[in-house]
């Protein structure tokens, strides 16, 4: 028999946006329910040191997210380990179904489903996913002690992953399609100074090469984007760090989107194209995509939802 839950505010997602919305909605006595999703704590649980969260010159990503969870809980949020697989925004109250079988009814919904890692889309990448190909250095770096590793990408994530992987690897090669990194200057400096890291500019990964039995990576083939020259790099691990795409699966058919799938909100607010539905964090932000900006938008979403609910009464 399915369980039915009713709430004034349903918060979907447990990253900085979701937990901050939860703190504010709880303090407004709205008794929110927050559904955590497949990754409790969100993207920061896949990293190590976070150095730009105000008030902490250094904090471990997973620790920070546990603190946020505890904060939301102590303020009065009910936190539920479930994954929403269906969201009906045509009806009031809004209805969401969880993998657990629970059906949630809510007067307002805050979407804080964040983003997920992008992949290159190569058949060989797919074949070796989990067997040498990964998008999470914190999760999988340990498996490559003393081995050679390739990291693909040129943003903050790629540089941080490359640096982190030097804790395990004998050598890390950063393959990037240009000769300029997007990563912050401070991270670039650390990368360029690191004796274990080599950069390979103007190259893109075209194939992951490996053995079938047991399944495992042995090398990657990269192609120079200007000369077309192919090079094979021997490695046991390949970390794809080419950015993240908004996790819009639940709402992509019903809410207005822009900039390639980010939920559109009204300028200066978190209001989406459906009244009573608010969006915060990486799901709606194609520019900043930071923990602190996500938390800020979570706060805005809770305040916007509170105002919406007051107007309904
Ligand atoms: P996310 O953190 O992406 O969380 C999304 C949440 O939604 C997850 O809990 C997920 O389980 C949930 N969810 C998704 N779908 C569903 C569903 N169907 N049902 C229920 N729940 C669902 N930013 C910084 O400011 N500093 C850093 O040092 C930093 N380091 C980073 C390192 C890495 C490796 C990565 C990947 C990102 C880093 N970022 C950093 C960026 C930062 O993590 C994000 O900007 C931030 O986490 C976004 O927060 P969010 O709440 O919008 O979503
Ligand atoms: P990103 O900033 O979007 O960078 C993605 C990188 O991958 C770019 O260098 C891009 O190359 C490259 N790329 C994209 N598609 C590619 C493809 N198909 N083939 C090869 N290369 C490809 O993504 P991110 O590094 O994951 O960062 C996401 C957000 O999280 C950013 O806002 C970032 O600031 C934030 N973040 C912050 C921190 C921190 O503050 N310490 C840490 C991690 C992430 P081009 O440069 O050529 O486009």
pLDDT in tens, 66-96: 999 999 999 999 999 999 999 999 999 999 9
**What gap in Å lies between CA 114 and CA 200, rounded to an integer?**
31
Residue 200's nearest CA partner among 166, 226, 164, 165 is 226
Rounded to the nearest whole angstrom, what is the distance from the C-alpha of residue 34 to the centroid of ligand 2? 29
The residue whose CA has the least distance to atom 23 of ligand 2 is 243
pLDDT at residue 161, rounded to an integer: 95
pLDDT at 140 over 90: no
**Which ligand 1 atom is nearest residue 250's CA?**
18
> Is 155's C-beta closer than 6 angstroms to any atom of ligand 1?
no
Rounded to the nearest whole angstrom, what is the distance from the C-alpha of residue 113 to the centroid of ligand 1? 8
Rounded to the nearest whole angstrom, what is the distance from the C-alpha of residue 64 to the centroid of ligand 1? 12
**What gap in Å lies between CA 189 and CA 207, rounded to an integer?**
29
**Which ligand 2 atom is nearest residue 287's CA?**
32
- Residues 217-229: what's their mean pLDDT? 98
Instruction: State the catalytic residues.
Output: 136, 139-140
Give residue 2's pLDDT band: very low, low, confident or very high (50, 70, 90): confident
> 266 vs 139, which has greater pLDDT?
266
CATH superfamily assigned to domain 119-240? FAD/NAD(P)-binding domain (3.50.50.60)
Select 4-116+244-312's CATH number: 3.50.50.60, 3.40.1180.10, 1.25.10.10, 3.40.50.720.
3.50.50.60
Rounded to the nearest whole angstrom, what is the distance from the C-alpha of residue 279 to the centroid of ligand 2? 22
Burial label, 93 (beta-carbon count in 10 A; 0-12, 13-18, 19+): middle
DSSP-derived secondary structure for the chain: ---EEEEEEEEE--SHHHHHHHHHHHHTT---EEE--SSTTGGGGG-SEE--BTTBSSEEHHHHHHHHHHHHHHHT-EEE---EEEEE-SSSSEEEEETTS-EEEEEEEEE---EEE-----HHHHHHBTTTEES-HHHHGGGGTT-EEEEE--SHHHHHHHHHHTTT-SEEEEE-SSSS--S-HHHHHHHHH-TTEEEETTEEEEEEEEEETTEEEEEEEEEETTT--EEEEE-SEEEE-S-EEE--TTTTTTS-EETTTEEP--TTS-B-SSTTEEE-GGGT-SS---HHHHHHHHHHHHHHHHHHHHHH-
What b-and-e string marks burial along 13-37, b requiring 16 or more CB atoms within 10 Å of the CB?
bbbbbbbbbbbbbbebebebbbbbb
> pLDDT tens digits for 162-189?
999 999 999 999 999 999 999 999 999 9
Mutate which of 5, 42, 298 for ligand 1? The one with the most ligand atoms within 8 Å of its CB, which is: 42
Residue 204's nearest CA partner among 120, 117, 118 is 120
The residue whose CA has the least distance to atom 39 of ligand 1 is 290
Give the predicted TM-score (pTM) of the model: 0.87
pLDDT at residue 312, rounded to an integer: 92
Q: What residues does CATH 3.50.50.60 cover in the chain? A: 4-116+244-312, 119-240
- The backbone region for 22, taken as left when phi is positive above 0, alpha when psi lies in -120 to 50, beta otherwise, is alpha
The residue whose CA has the least distance to atom 3 of ligand 2 is 243
pLDDT at 1 over 80: no
Give residue 294's pLDDT band: very low, low, confident or very high (50, 70, 90): very high
Give residue 287's pLDDT band: very low, low, confident or very high (50, 70, 90): confident
> 198 vs 136, which has greater pLDDT?
198
Tokens of 200: 């390979």
The label of the residue with tokens 């179904």 reads 97
């Amino acid at each position: 028999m399915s369980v039915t839950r009713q709430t004034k505010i349903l918060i979907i997602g447990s990253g900085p946006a979701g937990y901050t919305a939860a703190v504010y909605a709880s303090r407004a006595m709205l008794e929110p329910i927050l559904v955590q999703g497949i990754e409790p704590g969100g993207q920061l649980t896949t990293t190590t040191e976070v150095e730009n969260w105000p008030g902490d010159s250094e904090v471990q990503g997973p620790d920070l997210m546990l603190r946020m969870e505890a904060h939301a809980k102590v303020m009065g949020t009910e936190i539920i380990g479930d994954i929403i697989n269906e969201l009906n925004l045509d009806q009031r109250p809004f209805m969401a179904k969880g993998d657990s079988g629970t059906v949630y009814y809510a007067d307002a919904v805050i979407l804080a489903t964040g983003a997920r890692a992008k992949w290159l889309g190569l058949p060989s990448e797919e074949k070796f996913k989990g067997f040498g190909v990964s998008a999470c250095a914190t999760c999988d770096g340990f498996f490559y002690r003393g081995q050679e590793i390739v990291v693909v990408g040129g943003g903050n994530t790629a540089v941080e992953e490359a640096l982190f992987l030097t804790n395990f690897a004998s050598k890390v090669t950063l393959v990037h399609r240009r000769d300029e990194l997007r990563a912050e200057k401070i991270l670039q400096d650390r990368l360029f100074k690191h004796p274990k890291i080599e950069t390979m500019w103007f190259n893109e990964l075209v194939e992951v090469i490996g053995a079938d039995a047991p399944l495992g990576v042995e090398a990657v083939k990269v192609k120079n984007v200007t000369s077309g020259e192919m090079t094979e790099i021997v490695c046991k691990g390949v970390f794809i760090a080419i950015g993240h795409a908004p996790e819009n699966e639940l709402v992509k058919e019903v809410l207005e989107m822009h900039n390639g799938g980010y939920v559109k909100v009204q300028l200066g607010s978190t209001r989406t194209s459906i009244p009573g539905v608010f969006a915060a964090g990486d799901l709606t932000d194609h520019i900043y995509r930071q923990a602190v900006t996500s938390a800020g938008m979570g706060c805005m979403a809770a305040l916007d939802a509170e105002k919406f609910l007051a107007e309904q009464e």
